[in-house]
Structure 1
Amino acid sequence: MEADILVVDDQPGIRLLLKDLLTNEGHRVLTAKTGKEALDLIYSHSFDLIFIDYKLPGLDGFNVLKKLEGKNRNIPAILMSGMVLPGEETMQLKNVIAVIAKPFNVYNIVEIVRSATR
């Protein structure tokens, strides 16, 4: 199924890799490099899935998802982390469907997206 996906990461290489991978899978992908930029896009577009980095400058991924939950915007989210795997408080967010460590396996990404967009 074709999905609208938002990729949020401050690293250009990660944004490009995920955009190319997901576009090749038939999805429509927008990207953001900050939490504020992500919220602006979420409030102006409709997304089926969000990939978001845990550690973002300024407003981090956890707090972006917490804000969405507070506004009842329960978009399924995949939290990415390159340093520290998020604690238990993260898994209590309703919209987090997976937490993945960077660097990640692209085949795992494809499987997670297929499962989430069925």
Structure 2
Amino acid sequence: MANILIVDDDSAVQTTIRLLLERAGHAVVTASDGHNGLELFEAGDFDLLFLDIFMPGMDGFETMRKVHQQKPLTPIIVISGRPMPSDSGPDFLNMAVKLGAISSLQKPFKPAELVAAVARSLDLAEQRSKASPSDGNSIASCH
């Protein structure tokens, strides 16, 4: 089905997402930080990326910016375990979507939510690649 890159500094989260996606028939590669994820992204051909927003070194926002510099329409699902914002704090998941992520998931998430988000994102990628005269390897983000 799809070739998916997971970039998250939590190995348990990586393993959980990888197992869920492999069971759904996808090929999965994992990276433990933004630098390693970017190297894998540059060397591979990925249909979708999962990016944790908060990682040491290069965070998800910076990784997403660099991915979009190279392949601007690559679909990215951002994930975060930070608590949802209160009235005084920023909504980092919503912020990431406004900056170009196709979707977001709050950790912990249910397996069905993850699989559904992947299916929606891949469907959107296919629709947009047919509608876009670009290289066909990428997708515009949706808000």
Structure 1 length normalisation: TM-score? 0.91
- Displacement of 1:53 after TM fit? 0.3
CA offsets, 1:44-99, max 9 Å, x none?
000010111000110001110011222344210110011154165423323x1111
Once residues 36 and 77 of structure 2 are traced to their aligned partners in structure 1, the CA distance between those partners, rounded to angstroms, is: 17
Once residues 51 and 40 of structure 1 are traced to their aligned partners in structure 2, the CA distance between those partners, rounded to angstroms, is: 15
CA separation of 1:69 and 1:90: change in aligned 2, threshold 3 A: same
Corresponding residue number in structure 2 for 1:42: 41
Corresponding residue number in structure 2 for 1:63: 62
More strand by share: 1
Instruction: Find the residue that maps to 1:59 and give its secondary structure.
Output: coil
What is the aligned counterpart of 1:91 among 77, 92, 97?
97
Instruction: Find the residue that maps to 2:35 and give its secondary structure.
Output: helix
Instruction: Find the residue that maps to 2:105 and give its secondary structure.
Output: strand
Once residues 15 and 72 of structure 1 are traced to their aligned partners in structure 2, the CA distance between those partners, rounded to angstroms, is: 23
Once residues 90 and 117 of structure 1 are traced to their aligned partners in structure 2, the CA distance between those partners, rounded to angstroms, is: 18
Q: Which runs of 5+ in 2 are unaligned?
A: 84-90, 124-143
CA separation of 1:99 and 1:87: change in aligned 2, threshold 3 A: closer
Higher RCO (Cα < 8 Å, 6 or more apart): 1
Once residues 29 and 93 of structure 2 are traced to their aligned partners in structure 1, the CA distance between those partners, rounded to angstroms, is: 27
Corresponding residue number in structure 1 for 2:127: none
Kindly name which structure, 1 or 2, has the bigger radius of gyration based on alpha carbons: 2
Once residues 105 and 88 of structure 1 are traced to their aligned partners in structure 2, the CA distance between those partners, rounded to angstroms, is: 19
Amino acid paired to 1:86 = F
Deviation above 3 Å: which 4+ runs of structure 1?
none
Q: Which runs of 5+ in 1 are unaligned?
A: none
The percentage of aligned residue pairs carrying the same residue is: 33
Once residues 57 and 16 of structure 1 are traced to their aligned partners in structure 2, the CA distance between those partners, rounded to angstroms, is: 19
The answer to whether the Cα contact below 8 Å between 1:69 and 1:93 also exists between their aligned partners in 2 is no
Count of aligned pairs between the two proteins: 116
Instruction: Find the residue that maps to 1:117 and give its secondary structure.
Output: helix
